[in-house]
Structures are given as C-alpha cells and as structure tokens.
Amino acid sequence: MSKHPDIIPQPGILDIIPYVAGKSGPAGANRVTKLSSNENPYGPSPLAKTAFAKMAEKLAVYPPSDHSALANAIALTLNLEPKRIICGAGSDEIITFLCQTYAGPGDEVLYTEHGFSMYRISALAAGATPVIAGETNRVVDIEKLLNACTENTKLIFIANPNNPTGTMVSDQEIAELAAAIPRQALLVLDGAYAEYVPGFDGHAALVDARDNVVMTRTFSKIYGLAGARIGWGYGPSHVIDALQRIRGPFNLSAAALNAATAAIQDQEYTGKCLAANTEWRNWLAAELAKVGIPSDKSHANFILARFSDTQTAQDCNAYLASKGLIVRGVASYGFPQCLRITIGDEIACRAIAGYIAEFVKETRA
C-alpha cells in the first residue's frame, strides 16, 4: 500500500480491511451456480421487475428525495410508523449512517465475534474503536455483550438471525439486553434475514417500546433486489431525525425505489420464496448431516457447514468450484473449517448435496 508523506487519511481508515464479496465463479468455468452471497435464487417479484423497468423512461429526472411512497408501503405492510423509517443503499448504508452519527474518536462500537464485517468497517470509517464480544457455540451471548460494554460504548450491533452462522437469539434475550445496556448506547438489530423466520417482526415491537433500539432491514435477500441496493431502518424519532440529516437527498434511484415498493406489496410472492427456502434448507442440512457434515439449525437462507478441519473445508470448496458450484469460505469470520452455502433452488441443492457426498466418499476412500 502506497502512502503520501503529507496527505493522510483520517485515523482508522487505513486499518480497514476492504469487504470481500462472495465469488461469482471460478476462472474458466462455463456454467456456474452461485451460492456464495445469500441471494434469492428465484429473483424478485414479477411486479418488482415491471416497476423497475417502468422507470427507464424517467432516467433524466432526479428521484424523489423523501422516499415517502416506499416508507408508506413498508409501514402499511408491516404495521409501522412511516415517519420513523429511513431508506438507504442497502442496510449497509443505514449502518454507516448510524456510525457517522453516533460514534467517533474515543467511542466504542460493539459487535459479536462472528458478526457482519461491515460493523467493523463502518466503525473505523467513523474514527471509532471496534470492540468484539465473544459468542457461545456460534450463538450471540447476551452476558458476554454486557460484560464488554463500557462508558465509551455508543453502538451495539447484533444480526438476528446472524450471518454467517444462521443462529438466532430469542425476543426475551434481546429485550433483556436492551434494558441493561449503558444509557448512552444504542442497540442496533440487523434484520437482513428476518423475513426467513415465520411470524418474526425483526424486533419491531421492541423498537416501538423503547427509545434506545433501532432495526435495520434489506431488500437484498428474500425480496431478490440485491442488485438494486436498497434497505431501510426503523427507530425512535430522535434517531431517525438525526440520520436523515446526513443522508444524501438522492441516495436511492427512482428505479430502486419503485421496485422495492412493488416488492414489499407482493407478500404472496414473498411467502412462496419463504416456503421454498424452508423446505430446501431443511433438506440440505439433513443430507449433509448424513455424510458427517453438521450445521447449526439455520434461521436464514444459508447453512454453515462444518468440516473436520480447515484443509478439508478448503479442499471441498475447491472440489465444488471445479463442478461449477460457488460457495463461501468464511475464514475471515472466524470459521476457517466451515463453508457457508446459500440455499438455492431444488436443482442447486441436489447438486450441492450430491457433490459434497462424492467429495466425502473420495476423501475417506
């Protein structure tokens, strides 16, 4: 990395290790099935596709800056207050807004050891200090989080369900955490995978009940709009008002806003995606367990397959890639002996199960 003697970035910036996305395919492969980025294999609602395409005739016009149509659609669908919703370029941008607004030099941003890497990146970009709390058996540990809190803790990030583990903690545990954190701290509940849990509100009720809890959500997962980059947050009025002050006026394209509005309204399609994911997630986990590859019960659209050691996981990853199947190595998340496998459609799930069974048979021969 080259450095200039006089033009120097703010403290923390050069400590950031850039985010690495899941691979799209191996070099030289002709046909690839990508199961590395937790995308919806069925794509977005047909209504969302139509809504996106309609905006092609309005590319010369700035998009609306208040996002009211989308906020109203979200609020109506999920029984929320529209004025307490903020929209961003993926939930990543909401995370960035929170760190910019509430954390800086001398402040601490707390998250768990296997948490989403953007928590650390956004904390460092704001000049704050990232702090890691341990987990227990790949599950968020509320006691360990509370023990890691200090008078400098300003933000506490928890993904529930978590990525890359797929594990989840209960509403009661989260409520107990919210009641016990320091007075100056804000609890941020990342619900990127909330829609994959039947009947789960992403802790929206807790957000309504308290003044120190924020929820983030995304259209990148079950809604199939990862390429449109759109997410949202829901929180107390005092938080949303502060975040809106640093949000760029045109941070979302008109096409993305239109597509997301249609997607949130098409809950019938969303329900079909949920049902398919649940069926094939359970099937794949059971098939891998039969050949000695365990995983925790997942509440998301992926499973974290655990191998006997790091080398075996790497060898299996390479074997799958040679067959045109791309999964995610998660050594950067503290799991060098694991592979995160997105739940694809029936064809993809059967292919993954079959090739992993072949790999296990060959390595044991």
Rounded CA gap, 316 and 116, in Å? 24
Cα torsion through 350, 353, 356, 358, rounded to 10? -70
CA nearest to 157, candidates 222, 243, 245, 233: 233
pLDDT at residue number 21: 61
Residues of each domain in the chain carrying CATH 3.90.1150.10: 13-43+268-364
Please determine, for residue 28, whether its predicted confidence score (pLDDT) is greater than 50.
no
Instruction: Give per-residue pLDDT as tens, 213-269.
Output: 999 999 999 999 999 999 999 999 999 999 999 999 999 999 999 999 999 999 999
Q: Which of 15-24, 193-202, 206-215, 232-241 has the lowest mean pLDDT?
A: 15-24
Q: Which residue has the tokens 């029936």?
A: 346
Collapsing DSSP to helix, strand or coil, 104 comes out as: coil
User: At 348, which helix (H) or strand (E)?
Assistant: helix 346-364
Report residue 35's pLDDT band, with 50, 70 and 90 as the boundaries.
very high
- The model carries a pTM of 0.91
d(CA 311, CA 358): 17
Q: For domain 46-266, which architecture applies?
A: 3-Layer(aba) Sandwich (3.40)
- Segment 58-79 shows an average pLDDT of 97
Judge whether residue 19 has pLDDT over 60: no
Backbone angles phi, psi at 68, to 5 degrees: -65, -35
Q: In whole numbers, what is the pLDDT of the chain averaged over residues?
A: 94
The pLDDT of residue 10 is 77
The sheet carrying 213-218 orders its strands as: 85-88, 231-234, 213-218, 186-190, 153-159, 108-112, 129-133
Q: What is the C-alpha separation between 146 and 102, in angstroms, rounded? A: 19
Tell me: domain 13-43+268-364, CATH 3.40.50.10800, correct? no
The per-residue DSSP string of 233-268 comes to EE--HHHHHHHHTTS-TT-S-HHHHHHHHHHHH-HH
Residues of the chain with CATH 3.40.640.10: 46-266
pLDDT (0 to 100) of residue 51: 98
In this prediction, residue 353 carries a pLDDT of 98
Using DSSP bridges, classify how beta strands 328-330 and 85-88 pair: parallel, antiparallel or unpaired. Answer: unpaired
Per-residue pLDDT, 364: 82
Q: What pLDDT sits at residue 32?
A: 79
Kindly tell me the burial class for residue 347, based on how many C-beta atoms sit within 10 Å of its own C-beta (0-12, 13-18, 19 or more).
exposed
